[in-house]
Amino acid sequence: MIKYTPTLTKGEYLKLSFFKELTKDDMVNTINKIKNELTTKKIDSLLKESKKYKNLNDAKDEVDALTKERKREEGKLDTKNKALNKIGNDKAKENNRIKNVVPIQEKLCKNASDLLNAENEKDKTEKEYNATEKEYNDVWKRTDCPAITDFVECFITCKGSILEEKKAYFDNSTSSPLEKIYNDDCHPVEQRAIKDYFIAKYTALRDDKPFKKLMADVVNIKVCLYCNINYTYAVDDGVSKRLLYQLDHFHSKDTYPWLALSFWNLIPSCSTCNASYKLTRALKIHPYANEISAPFSYKLNGVLNKEENIDVLFESKITDEQEDITTLGLVERYNKHKNVVVEFLEKKQKYADTQIEELLDFGEEKKLFENETEIKQLVFGYVPKDEFHNNSLAKFRYDILKELGIIT
């Protein structure tokens, strides 16, 4: 929601000792190791599935026994039917006999159906096992991925303004250097191995102390960029920097594992936005490149300036903005801060233009204030736009004050 551009050079990020190990050979070797593990697990699973069909003969024996029993019962039933033609008063007894035959027939049908399904499933499993073994052996012949060589240049260090262009490599595979990574030419086990590799590397990077220090120094923000409500900052405990925020992957690392390590894809955010609202859903407005331009406003339902009479509004005519507002639950969350609107309405009554002018005259005489803006910032507690990322509710306060005509 709040635009902020960190000051980071390519060299600063790559100076981290972590990236010295992030070589092409490391990627290829580790990905192949993961592929081997996934292959083994898959084949073991298929073998386990095939073993459960060893009792087919037992099922056949049971069906045969039930078939014989049914024939015996049908023979008895036929005899009884003939007798019924002569003895009408035995009809009630015969109905009971028929009821005893029905469950046997139903059980027989079920066992026959289960047997047929089991036989079909066994054939299917055996074919899958044979095909998978050959297919996975073919995957082993592909020890390289076409884009690994250019990975660092393309994804880790690209600037925020280029990130969307790099992401397009995945969304438009027909015209990109990564066309063989996530399309039909790449076996699912290879895709999984690539994904597991980069997610594991991100986990290691997240716990890297030099990385935490760099993030604390370069990403110099104090409030969540998504909501501008909760504080997100780093503290020094005397041993290392402690990041009191979560790093959200703007583009999901599950969908775009190549971007898991990209600095420009890691957005410092509060746990409420990241873990309670956004989750794995995609946002449209990247805070390093743009911001939600729609202003906050309010509606007063009644005469008295009380919280229960106020609705905070936050709507945009731009589809992408409105979708992000909804995803992050900003309307309901900001309606928990109606007290700010009440505060401004009360202060507007107390500090009319004449009072502001008197304070300015007094301040100039005492050299306390340079202009009217300084007085309003002090009285109403707002900050300019370039300080939104360091102050909670900054955009909200700014927009409401503009709607009230207090600032322009």
Q: Which of 65-69, 174-178, 269-273 has the lowest mean pLDDT?
A: 174-178
pLDDT at 20 over 90: no
pLDDT at 275 over 90: yes
Long-range contacts of 384-392 (CB under 8 A, 24+ apart): 388/2, 388/223, 388/228, 389/2, 389/4, 389/221, 389/222, 389/223, 389/225, 389/228, 390/221, 390/222, 390/223, 391/222, 391/223, 392/223, 392/228, 392/229, 392/230, 392/231
d(CA 177, CA 362) in angstroms, rounded, equals 67
**What's the confidence (pLDDT) of residue 113?**
63
How many other β-carbons are positioned within 10 Å of the β-carbon of residue 332? 9
pLDDT at 343 over 70: yes
Confidence of residue 216 (pLDDT cuts 50, 70, 90): confident
**What's the confidence (pLDDT) of residue 235?**
81
pLDDT at 350 over 90: no
d(CA 101, CA 69) in angstroms, rounded, equals 9
Contact status, residue 305 vs residue 342, Cβ threshold 8 Å: yes
Residue-wise pLDDT tens digits, 187-197: 677 778 878 88
pLDDT at 279 over 70: yes
pLDDT at 89 over 60: no
Q: What mean pLDDT is predicted for residues 13-23?
A: 70
**What's the confidence (pLDDT) of residue 383?**
93
Domain boundaries, the chain: 10-16+146-186+208-278, 44-140, 297-403
pLDDT at 205 over 60: yes
pLDDT at 328 over 70: yes
Question: The tokens 């909501």 sit on which residue?
Answer: 227
pLDDT at 203 over 50: yes
**What's the confidence (pLDDT) of residue 186?**
61
Please give the single-letter amino acid code of residue 17: S
d(CA 376, CA 366) in angstroms, rounded, equals 17
Question: Diameter of the chain by CA atoms?
Answer: 128
Question: The tokens 């004050």 sit on which residue?
Answer: 401
Q: Which of 49-58, 262-271, 358-367, 373-382 has the lowest mean pLDDT?
A: 49-58
Confidence of residue 401 (pLDDT cuts 50, 70, 90): very high
Mean pLDDT of the residues in the chain: 75
pLDDT at 142 over 50: no
Cα dist from 77 to 92, 106, 226, whole Å? 13, 17, 78
Confidence of residue 119 (pLDDT cuts 50, 70, 90): low
Q: Going by C-beta distance under 8 Å and a sequence separation of 6 or more, which residues neighbour residue 363?
A: 369, 374, 375
Q: What mean pLDDT is predicted for residues 123-150?
A: 54
Residue-wise pLDDT tens digits, 304-327: 778 888 999 998 989 999 999 999
pLDDT at 98 over 60: no
**What's the confidence (pLDDT) of residue 88?**
54
Q: Which of 175-179, 298-302, 330-334 has the lowest mean pLDDT?
A: 175-179
Q: What mean pLDDT is predicted for residues 389-400?
A: 93
**What's the confidence (pLDDT) of residue 372?**
82
pLDDT at 47 over 60: yes
Name the pTM for this structure: 0.69
